Amino acid sequence: MTPVFIDTHCHFDFPPFVHHEQESLTLAAQSGVERIIVPAVTSEMFDGIIQLTRQFSAIYGALGLHPLYIDSHREQGLQQLEQLLGQHDGKIVAVGEIGLDDYMETPQSERQLWLLSEQLKLAKRFDLPVILHSRRTHDKLAGILKQHTLPRTGVVHGFSGSLSQAQAFIRLGYSIGVGGVITYERAQKTRKVIAKLPLTSLVLETDAPDMPLSGFQGEPNRPERVKLVFEQLCQLRSESVSEIAQQLYTNSIALFRCG
């Protein structure tokens, strides 16, 4: 059986995909990518993502305000998010990309925390999972998630923390996003962590056009390369290829209800 994949994190509203959507979806489908979830980063992107979900059956969206763009987020962006989540049609499957980032030069941590908390409240209110960004903030983020009990939880995307940090998220009911980091031989810590986590807690992602895989440095990442992430994951795991493929697919459908 040919594996079928869901890329649970792809910024398909960015170049090189803009104006090449159908061509890019065809390439992805040829690699077994059946669905793609596109998270927003600013309120200016919301309408474009909604249009993508309406135009292409394979595309699902997530709406949220990304911490890296903290300087550009305004109160009306949060109000717009609330309004759109209230009228979403089933193709908007998550609140995201949201989270925390302490890697920036001026992280504005208090504002980040407030913005995250407000968006977690919206996720709870509208019964949606969250797609979480976390850089140098895993412990802080886990503490906040404990305070906000979400019925649908979510995924910590692009995870590269420790085993204990991953287990803390999993205990809270969150999934771990597995991406191109594991294709790098030097990423031994992350590879060992992903090898040890429960398969039921993992989902695949590319973060395209970001996070290029090993061998593709300097090129925009692409959703069809989720297959290469999967192949690397199979080398790290003890389960059969078919079991891994089926469980990852099941995990993604259950989390995002994008079936």
Closest CA to 230 of 9, 1, 5: 5
Is 105's pLDDT higher than 90? no
Does 82 count as an annotated binding residue? no
Residue 14: pLDDT band with limits 50, 70, 90 = very high
Does 89 count as an annotated binding residue? no
Domain of 54? 5-256
Closest CA to 182 of 171, 192, 172, 168: 192
Q: Average of pLDDT values for 177-192?
A: 97
The most distant pair of C-alpha atoms in the chain lies apart, rounded to whole Å, by 49
Rounded Cα gap, residues 252 and 7, in angstroms: 9
Asked whether the CA dihedral 181, 184, 187, 192 is positive or negative, the reply is positive
Beta-carbon contacts of 208 under 8 Å, excluding residues fewer than 6 positions away, are 7, 10, 11, 12, 17, 220, 221, 222, 223, 225
The DSSP call for residue 132 is E
Which tokens sit at 146?
């404990």
The DSSP call for residue 148 is S
Closest CA to 25 of 46, 39, 45, 10: 10
pLDDT of residue 206: 98
Rounded Cα gap, residues 144 and 127, in angstroms: 18
Does 148 count as an annotated binding residue? no
Count, residues in the chain: 259
Rounded Cα gap, residues 115 and 216, in angstroms: 34
Does 9 count as an annotated binding residue? yes
Does 127 count as an annotated binding residue? no
Q: What percent of the chain has pLDDT over 90?
A: 95
Is 107's pLDDT higher than 90? no
| pLDDT per position as a tens digit, 52-102 | 999 999 999 999 999 999 999 998 999 999 999 999 889 999 999 999 999
Does 20 count as an annotated binding residue? no
Q: Average of pLDDT values for 101-115?
A: 93
Average pLDDT of the chain is 97
Give me the CATH number covering residue 146. Answer: 3.20.20.140
Asked whether the CA dihedral 165, 166, 169, 172 is positive or negative, the reply is negative
Q: How many domains does the chain have?
A: 1
Is 36's pLDDT higher than 80? yes
